[in-house]
Structure formats: C-alpha cells, structure tokens
Chains A and B, each alone.
Chain A
Amino acid sequence: MNPGPQVVTHLFGKSYLPVTDTLLIGWLSVILIIILAKYLTKNLKLRPEGKQNVAELMVTAIYDQIEPMLPGEGWRFLPFIATIFIYIGFCNLIGFVPGLTSPTGDLNTTLGLALVVFLVSHYEGMREKGVWGYFKSFGQPVIFLLPLNIVSEFAKPISHSFRLFGNIVGGGIIITLIYQAAPGLVPVPLHAWFDLFIGLIQALIFGMVAISYISVAKS
C-alpha cells in the first residue's frame, strides 16, 4: 500500500525517462474521453434524442455553474472548465476498475492541473485590468499588505492541488486498511462512497474552485 506513482517501464534504456502508471492511465483516460465525446456527438440533430441528450445535459450543467460567477463569459470559459470537470471526474472513476489506480492520486497530476488554473487566472486578471493595474491590486487596500497578498496567491495552487490529492489518496488508504482488516464483502459499499461519490464531488469542487479563482482575479 505504497501511495504515489509506481515506475512501470523506462523509455530509451534502463534509467532514462521513467514511465509511471499515472502517465499510462492518464493517457488511457484521455483516449477513452475522446472516444466517448466522438460517440456522443455523432450526427447531431436539431431535435435531440438519445445520446445527444446526455451530451447536452453535461454541457448545460457545466455552463450553469460558470455563468453565475463569470457573468456573460460562460461560453468563453466553457471549454477550459469542462475539460477540468470531465478529465478529473473520469480519472477519479477509473480507479473503480480493478487493477487501475486513479491518476489523480498522484501529486504530479493535480499540481499540474492547479498550475494551469493558476496561470489562466493571472492571465485573465491582467487581461481585465492591464498588467500594471493587476499588479497594483496586490497592494490594496494598503501597501503594507503586499507580502501577505503575494503569499496567499502562492498558497492557492498548493491548497487546490493538495485537496484533490489528499481526498483520493486518503480514501484509497482507508479502503486498503479495511481490506486488510475485513476482507470479503465488507469493503464493497465503501467503494461506492470513496470512489463514486467522493470522486464526483471532488471533480465538481476542483472545477468550482477554478471558476472562483478566475472570478476573484478578474474582480
């Protein structure tokens, strides 16, 4: 029960470019999401039926989360936020398959996603207020608070990534402990809680926190 990425194989010889299971399962879920998206959006009709309803439901559900916090820019941010929602939700759910581990149970995945959100939020803040105006907003309301504002800005990606990582790894550790204490059918309902419910809630929360960081940087 050692958490974290396990090195599966090496590219180019014995010790160069280690390939971890996180990388392989992350790419597997990317390919599965592409196949699913292609399947759901095949021959779209004006009057939706069947699988097109599922695709429209997902898009409008994510749009309804973005629109109240970034008014008027829901369609602009939809591709970015929907990517985060769907990728993290899929990565959390793929741990439900026996033999596969969630790529989000690795700090590299979550920190990478959090850094992308960090860069996008700063870019949007500069786009809204101009570069100098954005940097001046760190000295608000008094210049004395400048170091505190900068430290809290760097704490954002750290807490953002550790929240997802901690939830997924913590659930995995609890399930492993219960498998050792009471094997058999006892841990099965816990999978429904830790993998399905917590996984989907954490994907929703990661996306909502990303939206709120962007809207804080813009205001």
Chain B
Amino acid sequence: MVEFSPETIEMVIRSVSVIAAGLALIAGIGPGVGMGFAAGKATSAVRRQPEARGSIVTTMLLGQIISGSTGIYSLVIAIYLVFT
C-alpha cells in the first residue's frame, strides 16, 4: 500500500479538475451547431417573407437562447472547477 502525502493529493486534484474544466467545454459543440442551424433557417425564412422579419428575428433569438443554455451550464461548471 503506497501512502501519498497531502500535498501530492492536493496537486493531483487540482490538475485533474483543470483537465475536467477543459473537457467540460466540449459541450460548446452542441449549442454552436444548434444556434447556427436556427440562424440559417431564419435567414431562409426572411428571404421567403421579408415583411415578417421582426417576428422571425424575435423567434430565432428566443430559440437560440434556450438552446444556448447548455453551453452556459458547461461554462459555469468549468469556472467552478478551475476556481475552487
């Protein structure tokens, strides 16, 4: 049985949590793809009906906000892992 000193354990926990923070930001892929898809659909909708531009932009922004929250959750978890 190998005994580790408390400093070694502390250092391992710190380095692993920094790596985990980096891995948590992989979640940024999902919101990026989803928001880009919504923006592309909104662009073609504006081309088809330019007079409905205001309501299309509002609906697009609301959908992007909802799909963007997952990215924000991963960012908050990454901040928590790095700074505690």
Contacts and interface: CB of A to CB of B under 8 A. Distances in A.
B76 A2 contact: no
Contacts of A166: 72-73, 75-76, 79
B15 interface: no
A65 B59 CA distance: 12
20 contacts: A3-B79, A3-B83, A68-B54, A68-B55, A68-B58, A69-B58, A159-B72, A162-B69, A163-B65, A163-B68, A163-B69, A166-B75, A166-B76, A167-B72, A170-B79, A173-B79, A205-B61, A208-B58, A208-B62, A209-B65
A176 interface: no
Interface residues of A, number: 19
Interface in B35-57: 54-55
Contacts of A165: 76
Contacts of B79: 3, 166, 169-170, 173
Contacts of A6: none
What are the 5 tightest A-B residue pairs by CB atom distance, in nearest-first order? Answer: A166-B72, A159-B69, A166-B75, A163-B72, A166-B76
A9 interface: no
Contacts of B83: 2-4
A145 to B, nearest CB: 19
A208 B68 CA distance: 15
Q: Which of A69, A163, A170 has the largest number of chain B CB atoms within 10 A?
A: A163
Nearest to B55: A68
A212 interface: yes
A77 to B, nearest CB: 16
A209 B73 contact: no
Contacts of A169: 79
Given A2-B83, A68-B55, A208-B58, A170 B75 contact: yes
Given A3-B79, A68-B55, A208-B58, A162 B65 contact: no
Interface in A122-179: 159, 162-163, 165-167, 169-170, 173
A212 B62 contact: yes
